[in-house]
Amino acid sequence: MRFLRAWIAAIVLSLIGYLLFLAVDLAYPPLRLFGTMTQLLGIPRLFQLVHQIFGLGQGGKIFAFTGVSVLWLGGLTLLGGLWRGQISGLMVFVLMLIFTPWYVALGYGVAFWLLLDGVNALLAPRRAGAGGNTGGDTISDTSGSVVSPIAGPPVKLAPARRTPAADLRGAGRVVTAPDSARRTTTALLAAGGAVVAAGGLSALFGSGGETASAAAVITPGGPLPFGVTPVSQWYYVSKNLEPFDPKVDGTKWRLKVSGLVRTPQSLSLQDLKKFTPVTDERTLACISNPVGGPLISNGVWVGFRLSELLKAAGVQGGAKYLIWEAADGYTESLPLGRALEDDILLVHTLNGAPLNVKHGFPLRVLIPGRYGMKQPRWITGIRLTDTDEPGYWVKRGWSKAAEVELLSRIDEPAEISPQMKAGVASAIRGIAFFGDKPITKVEVTTDGGKTWTAARLVTPRTRYAWTPWEMPFTPAAGVYQIAVRAFSGSTVQKVADADALPEGATGYHHFIVNVS
Ligand SMILES: Nc1nc2c(c(=O)[nH]1)N[C@H]1C(S)=C(S)[C@@H](COP(=O)(O)O)O[C@H]1N2
Ligand SMILES: [Mo]
């Protein structure tokens, strides 16, 4: 019963905490715990293990967050069940110092203490020693007296055990009715807590994602140009669980330009219109994309040049780094020299529609040649500094520069159960990409690398878009080991297999096709 009451207190505390998180952005412990745990993914073996078990995308994160929730609620229940309010509160405070600021830890410690005492006072059986089974339920002080959890002076415990006389006097029966009522209430509240916890988790992972991406459904006046990824199929990677991605209010949003600038700026979405619009087709790739993986997309963006904004703000002499700030607390940095080049775009439109929540509304940055981790979404601030402040993933062991590796991928036939019919004229197709550098040649093998044939390249419309390629193929029945490799001038795609962490995956995309 003590544990059930602690469970109720834990649920109430979590609910209050979550409301505070929504209302005033107070750090939410389960989310903090989750953030601390993602740091562990900086350990290569762990990262690989998690990705092997759960694949890419949100699967691993959902598992981790569920684990964290269980840990959080279970931990509170255990603490609250083992010790009385004050001690439990103190333990909560001390343990939370590991992953939250001290004032949050203090607030939660005190709140849990009060909640636990409150719940115990309301729901604990009131028999002061009348029943032999109440020892665990009463709060006893060292003098052996029992402090009534309700109110009033401590009651001296005369006999420690129930006496037959007490039974005869009916003492036991007098309290039986309210006790069972309390027991029922406790059970109901505890069950309610379980429903709330389950509901919370399913709301988090169920429909939440769909509503967030519903805004992505766009009808651009016709079919997209060849090789452009529809927003609905755009890859998605986030440090946040999708329901916790920031939902920015466009009317209140400001882009702050601060630090070592002559004229600090605070720009509304309207203000951005004064910058010269630039439209460009660009490919974005995630550093954790494995060889042949899906975490790469290509779109048509509209925005303006970072260099124009920096000119308006006026860069001060001592500035050496540009620090990006984002609505979700994500940060990244870039040496100022790179930041001043005019190929960096701040974009608000993808494939003809404003960025949706998932992909960075209202503004994100595109930096050619770098992986997605260097390019924050939901940006809120640009700060110029004289010292570097390593970014979110850099602090967790990922590449500092995060420059895109030369890569190529086979899309047709599909790697998962590839189907090709003997004697039917078909083609092997795919894409190749090298960030800000051009693809000059793509070669395909169907015999495990004994011979290579040059594929036909589809010249990209812009410099920073991927290069589609295809090779006609009319196979006879048999088993084919197909693979692809790309070239950029004298640079050849790395043949050695390397894991994504820390510099991005390398190696050839290859698999076996059975033709019958
Ligand atoms: N604010 C913010 N920006 C971010 C991230 C993030 O978690 N928060 N993730 C980065 C990573 S690792 C990648 S690969 C791209 C993914 O962008 P997309 O999901 O729109 O494809 O966003 C980048 N920008
Ligand atoms: Mo990424």
Q: Where are the domains of the chain?
A: 2-126+178-206, 216-396, 407-515
- Ligand index nearest the alpha carbon of residue 326: 1
d(CA 32, CA 105): 11
Residue with tokens 């991927």: 466
Q: What atom in ligand 1 is closest to the CA of residue 359?
A: 20
Per-residue model confidence (pLDDT) at position 505: 97
- What residue ranges in 269-320 does DSSP mark as E strands? 278-285, 296-305
Report whether residue 328 contacts ligand 1, using a CB cutoff of 6 Å: yes
Report whether residue 246 contacts ligand 1, using a CB cutoff of 6 Å: no
Report whether residue 61 contacts ligand 1, using a CB cutoff of 6 Å: no
* Tally of helices (H runs) and strands (E runs) in the chain: 11, 21
- Which protein residue's CA is at the shortest distance from atom 19 of ligand 1? 236
Per-residue model confidence (pLDDT) at position 50: 77
What's the gap in Å between 235 CA and the centre of ligand 2?
A: 10
Q: Which mutation among 283, 373, 378 tests ligand 1's pocket best, with the greatest number of atoms within 8 A of CB?
A: 373
What's the gap in Å between 287 CA and the centre of ligand 2?
A: 5
- Which protein residue's CA is at the shortest distance from atom 5 of ligand 1? 238
d(CA 364, CA 173): 69
Q: Which mutation among 282, 347, 348, 377 tests ligand 1's pocket best, with the greatest number of atoms within 8 A of CB?
A: 377
Q: Which helix (H) or strand (E) holds 255?
A: strand 255-259
Contact call for residues 481 and 448 (beta carbons, < 8 A): yes
Per-residue model confidence (pLDDT) at position 44: 63
Residue with tokens 């700030």: 325
What's the gap in Å between 359 CA and the centre of ligand 2?
A: 12
Report whether residue 238 contacts ligand 1, using a CB cutoff of 6 Å: yes
Contact call for residues 168 and 161 (beta carbons, < 8 A): no
d(CA 41, CA 240): 14
Report whether residue 244 contacts ligand 1, using a CB cutoff of 6 Å: no
Pair type for strands 255-259 and 379-385? parallel
What's the gap in Å between 135 CA and the centre of ligand 2?
A: 55
What's the gap in Å between 413 CA and the centre of ligand 2?
A: 26
Report whether residue 56 contacts ligand 1, using a CB cutoff of 6 Å: no
d(CA 513, CA 415): 8
One digit per residue, the tens of pLDDT, for the chain of length 516 reads 889 999 999 999 999 999 998 888 788 898 888 877 776 766 667 777 777 777 666 677 777 778 888 889 999 999 999 999 999 999 999 999 988 889 999 999 999 999 999 998 988 876 554 444 443 444 444 443 444 344 444 444 444 443 344 444 344 444 445 677 767 777 777 777 777 776 666 655 543 333 322 222 334 567 889 999 999 999 999 999 999 999 999 999 999 999 999 999 999 999 999 999 999 999 999 999 999 999 999 999 999 999 999 999 999 999 999 999 999 999 999 999 999 999 999 999 999 999 999 999 999 999 999 999 999 999 999 999 999 999 999 999 999 999 999 999 999 999 998 889 999 999 999 999 999 999 999 999 999 999 999 999 999 999 999 999 999 999 999 999 999 999 999 999 999 999 999 999 999 999 999 999
Q: What atom in ligand 1 is closest to the CA of residue 330?
A: 1
Burial environment of residue 493 by CB neighbours within 10 A (0 to 12, 13 to 18, 19 or more): buried
What's the gap in Å between 213 CA and the centre of ligand 2?
A: 19
Q: What atom in ligand 1 is closest to the CA of residue 234?
A: 21
Q: Which helix (H) or strand (E) holds 32?
A: helix 29-40
Q: What atom in ligand 1 is closest to the CA of residue 328?
A: 1
Report whether residue 129 contacts ligand 1, using a CB cutoff of 6 Å: no
Report whether residue 370 contacts ligand 1, using a CB cutoff of 6 Å: no
d(CA 215, CA 206): 17
What's the gap in Å between 62 CA and the centre of ligand 2?
A: 17
CATH code of domain 407-515: 2.60.40.650
What's the gap in Å between 286 CA and the centre of ligand 2?
A: 4
What's the gap in Å between 368 CA and the centre of ligand 2?
A: 14
Report whether residue 373 contacts ligand 1, using a CB cutoff of 6 Å: yes
Residue with tokens 């000119």: 311
What's the gap in Å between 228 CA and the centre of ligand 1?
A: 19
**HSE-up (13 A, CA, CB side) for residue 431:** 23
Report whether residue 235 contacts ligand 1, using a CB cutoff of 6 Å: yes
Report whether residue 236 contacts ligand 1, using a CB cutoff of 6 Å: yes
| Cβ atoms within 10 Å of 318's Cβ, excluding its own | 10
d(CA 243, CA 209): 6
- Left (φ > 0), alpha (ψ -120 to 50) or beta: where does 340 sit? alpha
| Cβ atoms within 10 Å of 159's Cβ, excluding its own | 10
Pair type for strands 426-433 and 441-445? unpaired
What's the gap in Å between 376 CA and the centre of ligand 2?
A: 10
Per-residue model confidence (pLDDT) at position 140: 40
CATH of 216-396, one of 3.90.420.10, 3.40.50.920, 3.30.499.10, 3.60.10.10: 3.90.420.10
Nearest to 76 by CA among 4, 146, 27: 4
Report whether residue 237 contacts ligand 1, using a CB cutoff of 6 Å: yes
Angle between helix 207-214 and helix 171-205 axes, rounded to 10 deg: 40
